[in-house]
Amino acid sequence: MLIKNGVVLTETGNFETKNVYTKDVFITKEESDGETIDAKGCYILPGLIDLHFHGCNGYDFCDGTIEAVKELAEYEAKSGITSICPASMTLGDEALEKIFAAGAAYQKNPSEVGADLVGINMEGPYVSDSKKGAQNGLYLHLPEVSHFKHMNECANHLIRLVTLAPELEGSMEFIEALSKEVAISVGHTCADFDTAKEAFDKGASHVTHLYNAMNPYTHRNPGVLGAACDSSWVTVELICDGIHLHPSTIRTTFKAFGEENIVLISDSMMATGLSDGQYSLGGQAVTVKGSTATLADGTIAGSVTNLFQCMKKVVSFGIPLATAVKCASMNPAKKLGIYESYGSLTPGKYANILIVGKDLELKHVILRGKLLY
């Protein structure tokens, strides 16, 4: 395939007018036979990677079925998210085993028109009761190495991220034992600065949806945010749907952490792509009205915005397009340990490519070298 005349986002973060070539499922350096797409007047961007979302199009990863994973993958792909790492919730062991097994089974026989399943995000059950948010408090579990290893075996070792509250008993031992095996994310926590900093120093390297489900930053109690900002190796997630965070908060966070350390996520739930109504998240009832999803008590329950839409929101808030795309493609690829194959339009990587108008409307999706639409 030849994609010509477009403005290409390069691996160095610059836009250049040049051609992009693909052969089979990969981006190549040289022209090859096949279809030609004229991208004049458009951007050519790497496919996005969502490492934290729960559902969309009426399905939830926690449905625990191959059908659900297939539906998630296909919706995400046509929305410009060509690689996915869906998130579980705080549920009982039997339910989690089923969820992780379904993910592993799907990856062995994936949809030809679905986003690549590049991992699983285990969000819970190792979280704080007081900061559980939309997580189900009935199934909270202290961090335990043997428990995680069992769940990862059920997932055929697909778990790439796991969230924990570092103030919980056993957290520091968990981090020391597993931080080289899985990326450990601090989240759903009431940890103070010292506790969070100890967790990062012991090997935690990520923060689950910064600001949400944690104590706020104050000048005398900087908490998780301050500890993360003082730890240069730590990446932080931002839900940029325009509901979870004020635009000024997003701009301030980019100034504090820099574009290298920010990962855009959607944290989307099953109503994404659908109309207002009654839905569920992790087995709990959710009401969706407009762009907001809430539990019965008013707690925000994920978003109803996919990652491509979140990326556009970030640009509308004043973040440069190249930076926004990097934080939704390159950075999550690096966090998941898949940057050799994903996250940029570099020859040798999978040909997951977006053609986007100057108005940021999605024109075409190329998935593994084939024109999806």
CA distance 220 to 199: 20
10 sits in which H/E element: none
CA-nearest of 197, 121, 194 to 162 is: 121
CA distance 225 to 247: 17
Q: Which residue in the list 24, 267, 276, 359 is annotated as catalytic?
A: 267
CA distance 28 to 8: 14
To 5 degrees, how large is the angle CA 366–CA 342–CA 281? 85
> Do you find a cis peptide bond into 332, omega within 30 degrees of 0?
no
180 sits in which H/E element: none
Side-by-side strand order, sheet with 292-294: 277-281, 284-289, 292-294
Q: Are strands 353-357 and 362-367 parallel, antiparallel or unpaired?
A: antiparallel
**Torsions phi, psi for 56 (to 5 deg):** -175, 160
309 sits in which H/E element: helix 307-316
267 flagged as catalytic: yes
Contact 178, 126 (CB under 8 A): no
The three-state DSSP-derived secondary structure of 169-233 is CCHHHHHHHHCCCCEEEECCECCCHHHHHHHHHHCCCEECCCCCCECCCCCCCCHHHHHHHCCCC
Q: Take residue 225 and report the two structure tokens written for it.
A: 């945010």
Classified as helix, coil or strand, 57 is: coil
Q: Are strands 48-50 and 36-38 parallel, antiparallel or unpaired?
A: unpaired
Annotated catalytic sites, by residue? 267
